[in-house]
């Protein structure tokens, strides 16, 4: 669901250059995902999966709160 929200915002980012905006969004989104997998693999060698899952859950919660706060301020 977060991907959908980000993608909708990307299409509204630059209405005149919508294709370029969506292409840039997709490139950075998937680059971030692939880097995240690499970093997670590195961290799994050093940190227990329970702690890593907790860190990612808290980070995702923080991102969700940030989006909610930005949405409330816009409306």
State how far the alpha carbon of 52 is from the alpha carbons of 5, 12, 41, in Å: 25, 34, 11
How do the domains of the chain map onto residue ranges? 2-74
Whether residue 58 is predicted with pLDDT greater than 80 in this model: the reply is yes
- Tens digits of per-residue pLDDT, 12-34? 877 888 888 888 888 998 999 99
Q: Are 61 and 2 in contact (CB under 8 A)?
A: no
* Residue 59's pLDDT band (cuts 50, 70, 90): very high
Joined together, the tokens standing for residue 15 give 């209405």
Percent of the chain with pLDDT over 90: 33
Give the angle 7-12-14 at the CA atoms, nearest 5°: 115
pLDDT at 65: 92
């Amino acid at each position: 669901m977060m991907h959908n929200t980000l993608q909708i915002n990307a299409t509204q980012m630059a209405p005149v250059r919508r294709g370029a905006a969506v292409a840039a969004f997709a490139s950075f989104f998937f680059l971030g995902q692939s880097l995240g997998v690499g970093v997670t693999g590195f961290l799994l060698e050093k940190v227990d999966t329970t702690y890593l899952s907790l860190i990612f859950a808290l980070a995702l919660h923080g991102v969700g709160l940030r989006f909610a706060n930005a949405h409330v301020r816009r409306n």
